[in-house]
Structure 1
Amino acid sequence: MSRRTSRPRRPATTAAASPRITPASPCPCGLPAPYAECCGRLHALAAAAPTCEALMRSRYSAFVVRDAAYLLRTWHPETRPPSVDFDPAMRWERLEILETTEGSAFHTAGTVTFRAHYTDDGRPDSLHEKSRFVRHEGAWVYAAAVFVD
């Protein structure tokens, strides 16, 4: 998941303060489980994403909690940037999974089409993307994306 905008971006930092998400908070990915039992387990390396949709949800949650290390760890080495920058004025609000293709334990690739809702300086907007995931060394990783609109 990445972000594009038509207005100039403010300076971003990888050290931006993350929103207050506790282990007992609802998971940002939208599934009905506390963060610690859902995406938090993946962020803490206590489990691996079993499907590309689970990886997409955990990567969205990593953007919410601003976990750059997890995002980089789950990015394919051929497309991984050197760092992840977080815009301090941006707040991720809600994730909608619109479609998944393949991406189960029986596949080596899959896609997830989603809409991620956010506010930027208090203005609501959304990112509509189709992300491609592949298995790399046995684990699901984010490979690339196409912006849908």
Structure 2
Amino acid sequence: MTGHVLVLNQDYSALTVCSVQRAVILMHLQKVHLVEAVPDQYIRSPNLRYPSPSIVRLKQYASVPYKRVMLSRKNIIKRDRSTCQYCGSRDDLTIDHVLPKSRGGRDTWENLVTACVSCNNAKGDRTPEEVGMELDRDPFRPSYVMFIRDFVGSVDDTWKPYLFLS
């Protein structure tokens, strides 16, 4: 029972990703409908057999306030795909303020990027333009759906319509 299951709200909007075990428990408790199953795979007990879920939908609508991705070191590195935004290195990663804190730079999605130690030290207390460094891509606030997609690595083709990827 390894793998991930996409959990949809009653209106088919993506809510979260859970384990297969959790999804089967929700199916057994009749809290979700099975939307998509993994072909020819079943979860068996001595007297029950469930199709292995890929996508489930809640039976009752869950009111969820606007979902925002928390600003954290881990999430910035995840957004930047674990690469230095200046040189592309994947070693010794840190977080860099594009506009340094000493010049009024804030801790926001739009001002923080992943940088390797050597690029961060070379940039120092200056802006990338002042040092002649270029960002691989501009920092941005990621969407919740983007993080659901990136959480599981490769996305099953059946999930794509629900994550607006098709």
Normalised-by-shorter TM-score class:
under 0.3
Which fold has the larger relative contact order, with Cα–Cα distance below 8 Å and residues 6 or more apart in sequence? 1
Q: TM-score w.r.t. structure 2 length? A: 0.24
**Larger strand proportion of the pair:** 1
Structure having the larger proportion of residues in helix? 2
TM-score, length of structure 1 as denominator length: 0.25
